[in-house]
Structures are given as C-alpha cells and as structure tokens.
Amino acid sequence: MSAAGGVYRAFERGQKSGCDSILVFTKSNRQWKAKPLTDEDIAAYKQAETDFDIHPVAVHASYLINAASPNEALWEKSYQALKVEVERAGQLGIPFLTVHPGSYVKSDEASGLAKIVAALKRVLVETAVSAPNVTLCLETMAGQGTNLGYKFEHLAQLLTEAGPSDRLGVTFDTCHVFAAGYDIRSPETYAATMDEFDRIVGLDKIKTFHFNDSKFDLGQKKDRHAHIGEGFIGREGFANFLNDPRWADHPAHLETPKTKEDEDGSEIEMDVVNLATLRSLIK
Ligand code: ZN
Ligand code: MN
Ligand code: MN
C-alpha cells in the first residue's frame, strides 16, 4: 500500500481497498537515503494503527539493497540500508520486514550466499536491542538474473548459517516460487511443493505471503506479476493456499498492478478486484 504523505496514510488506503493486512515501504523504495522518523511520524503511525482494524503490517525493504554484492562499498551501503530498515520497522512496532536475499552479480552463488549470511548475522546482532521484535523475512525469488533465494536450499542455508534465530523467517511469493519452477497449480503439485519446502526449510519459517499470479509459465525464471487468476498460476493455485488451514492466520499481500484500464478507458481499482477474487476462492 502506498505510504506517500507518511507511513500512517497507508492504513486509510488499505481500508478503502478492503485490506485486513497491509504491506508498506517506510521510505522511498528506490532511494538510499531516508529522513529519520520523527516522534510525530511515529505517533501518527501508532494512532492510525489503533484507528484502523488492519493488522499485521509488514514492511518491504528497499529494492536497492543487495546484501550479496561482491563490491565491498555496495555491500556496506546495502548493509547499512538494511539495518536502517530494521530499525525503522522497530520504531513503528512492525513485526515483519521482507527483504530480497540479493544478487551475486559477477561473483557466484556460493560467494553471494556467504555475503548475505554475513549481513544477516551482523544485522541481527546490531538490532538486537533496537528492534528485538522485528522478524527479517527472506523472500523466495524467481531466479531472474543472478538473484539468489530461488531454490529452497538457498533459504535453508541462509536461515541456518545466519541463525538459527527466531528473528529470521521467509516471505513466500507465489509468482516467484512458480517462476523458479515449483508447481502450485493443482492440489497435488501444491502439496508436493509444500512438502518439499517443509523438508528443506520448514513450513514454520513462513511468516508472510505475497499473492501474485505470474505473467510467465512455470520455471521461466521471470519475475512478472499478473492479476489473480489472469496469469499462469490461475485461481486453483491460490485456492490451494487459501483453503490450507496451516495459513489461516498468516498475512498475505498483493504486489499486483494497482489499476487496469477498462474497455471504455476508465480505470479499475485492481486491489479491490484481486481481493474479491481471492476471497471468492475460500471454501
Ligand atoms: Zn519483494
Ligand atoms: Mn514479493
Ligand atoms: Mn516480484
């Protein structure tokens, strides 16, 4: 949900779209710098949190952060930005911060994973006092470019080597997992994928979901989100998650385009449509 004008503004936008839970950025997602949160910012947020029946809130970290970077300066810059993200979530009392594990760029998978482990270990120590209740959720990735985290084994390695810690978890993105080659479309393939995740990572590590359909087919490693039911995953894939009692209390967030043009050129608010589609799939 857009946090333009202050993070607290996301609550009213979320309510307008009919959300039970929202995903926000606490700073610009395409800039390194962030103005520190003031006491007023924090108070406005806490007020909105009591005024609106929307919880929990999750934060998405900046897209610029690359904790797998082989470039020392960029790694340090990414690390500092990640730490600031955790601290801001802590200041606002937000329980989940989702971050993309990172891209190894010109190094290799093993080196990239080692870099991420180093960043996670350090951030867990350095925010143990300032943000003890923030869980860092590593997002499952599509495997586009040199992205890490598209194999369940990557996530297992990161969680084990940087932890074990109660402050580490996973955000399960349906589009990304599907793009990475794990099928979730039928009850059978869904069950097999979740069993595999359980065996390798552990289902208890999943803290939040991103519900996005996929513009590309299974295993294409393309990170392109489609509206629910309009992509290659399809409605039945989402019904598998929505009717699985294990996820009854887990927040799920849409990262699909906000609007779509109608045939007559008018704009449709797609969060409302996608939420209605998802809710209609609950048996
Ligand atoms: Zn993401
Ligand atoms: Mn996502
Ligand atoms: Mn994506």
> 212-221 pLDDT, tens per residue?
999 999 999 9
Q: Quick one: pLDDT at residue 2?
A: 93
Q: Is 223 a catalytic site residue?
A: yes
Catalytic annotation, pick one of 210, 213, 230, 271:
210
Annotated catalytic residue 41: no
CA of 210 to the centre of ligand 2 (A): 5
Minimum-distance ligand to the CA of 216? Answer: 3
Matching residue, tokens 């940087």: 162
Structure confidence at residue 116 (pLDDT): 98
**What pLDDT, on a 0 to 100 scale, did the predictor assign at position 83?**
98
| d(C-alpha 186, C-alpha 218), whole Å | 13
Q: How much distance in Å is there from the Cα of 139 to the middle of ligand 1?
A: 6
Would you state the CATH architecture of domain 9-280? Alpha-Beta Barrel (3.20)
**30 assigned to active site:** yes
Flag whether the pTM goes above 0.95: yes
Widest distance between CA atoms in the chain: 55
CA of 264 to the centre of ligand 3 (A): 29
The reply to whether omega before 245 is within 30° of 0 (cis) is: no
Q: Which residues surround ligand 1, an ion (CB under 5 A)?
A: 139
pLDDT at 87: 98
Spot the catalytic one: 85, 87, 139, 213: 139
Query: Which candidate in 13, 45, 60, 167 is catalytic?
Result: 60
Q: Which residues, 6 or more positions from 6, have their beta carbon under 8 angstroms from its beta carbon? A: 41, 44, 45
pLDDT tens digits, one per residue of 66-97: 999 999 999 999 999 999 999 999 999 999 99
| Nearest Cα to Cα of residue 59 among 94, 12, 20 | 94
- What secondary structure does DSSP assign to 127-155, as a single string? TTTT-TT-EEEEEP----TTEE--SHHHH
Percent with pLDDT over 90 in the chain: 97
88 is catalytic: no
Name every residue whose Cβ is closer than 8 Å to that of residue 189 and which is 6 or more positions away in sequence: 183
Instruction: Report how far ligand 3's centroid is from the alpha carbon of 169 (Å).
Output: 18
Q: Label residue 231 by pLDDT band (50, 70, 90).
A: very high
Q: How far is the CA of 175 from the centre of ligand 3 (A)?
A: 7
What is the Å distance from ligand 2's center to 264 Cα? 31
Q: How does residue 6 score in pLDDT terms, banded at 50, 70 and 90?
A: very high
If you write DSSP's letter for every residue of 174-194 in order, what string do you get? HHHHHHTT---SSHHHHHHHH
Q: Give mean pLDDT, residues 96-118.
A: 98
CA of 273 to the centre of ligand 1 (A): 21
49 catalytic residue (yes or no): no
Distance between CA 14 and CA 77 in Å, rounded? 32
Does the annotation count 166 as an active-site position?
no
- How far apart are the CA of 251 and the centre of ligand 2, in A? 13
Q: What six digits make up the tokens of 192?
A: 């097999």
Q: What is the pLDDT of residue 168?
A: 98
**Catalytic residue flag (residue 176):** yes
Q: What is the CA radius of gyration of the chain?
A: 18
Beta strands in the chain (DSSP E): 22-24, 57-60, 96-99, 102-103, 135-139, 147-148, 168-173, 206-211, 213-214, 225-226, 252-254, 259-261, 267-269
60 is catalytic: yes
Q: Is 79 known to be catalytic?
A: no
Concerning whether 230 is annotated as a catalytic residue, the answer is no
Q: What is the mean pLDDT of residues 169-186?
A: 98
Retrieve residue 197's tokens: 């995740």
* pLDDT recorded at residue 202: 98
Name the β-bridge partners of 99.
Answer: 138
- Name the residue ranges covered by the structural domains of the chain: 9-280
Q: What angle do CA 63, 54, 46 make, to 5 degrees?
A: 80
Q: What is the mean pLDDT of residues 229-252?
A: 98
